[in-house]
Amino acid sequence: MESSHFGPKIPFITQAPDNFASPYRVVVVFDPVQAVTASNVCRGGRGYGPGVDPVPIPGVVRLHAVLCANKLPLTSVSAQVNGADGPSDLRFRQLVGKMTIILFPPRRAPAVLETASSSRWQ
């Protein structure tokens, strides 16, 4: 996500330190169920319901990312990539970059957003 958004450089961390006081956070759910909601994720939900285990599809990485302010969603995006071998795979990195632009939109949207019919990238 770092260096994929517009504006000042923001360090992205995976675990907040004990003295972390910002109300803003990005939550990413891997392999969410279809019914995952941004509101549920921001309130601390796991991204899938009780008793419903998401079934991973071989060769497909599905993500749902939400920018939260406290327990309220500000923006969210769902996406998937086929054939990515891991986080260092170029396809996965490009997907996360595109998702970051949607989570942190500039004041004037770039062409990549204007050509999207929805917030889903494949």
Q: How confident is the model at residue 119 (pLDDT cuts 50, 70, 90)?
A: very low
Do residues 51 and 79 make contact, with C-beta atoms less than 8 angstroms apart? no
Give dist(CA 96, CA 63) in Å, integer: 9
Single-letter amino acid code for the residue at 10: I
Q: How confident is the model at residue 51 (pLDDT cuts 50, 70, 90)?
A: very low
What pLDDT score was predicted for residue 9? 67
For residue 10, pLDDT over 70 is answered with no
pLDDT at residue 79 greater than cutoff 80: yes
> What is the enclosing helix (H) or strand (E) of 74?
strand 72-82
Of residues 10 and 43, more confidently modeled? 43
Contact predicate 29/44, CB 8 Å: no
Q: Which residue has the higher pLDDT, 51 or 87?
A: 87
- Euclidean distance between CA atoms 57 and 72, whole angstroms: 30
**Residue predicted with more confidence, 112 or 117:** 112
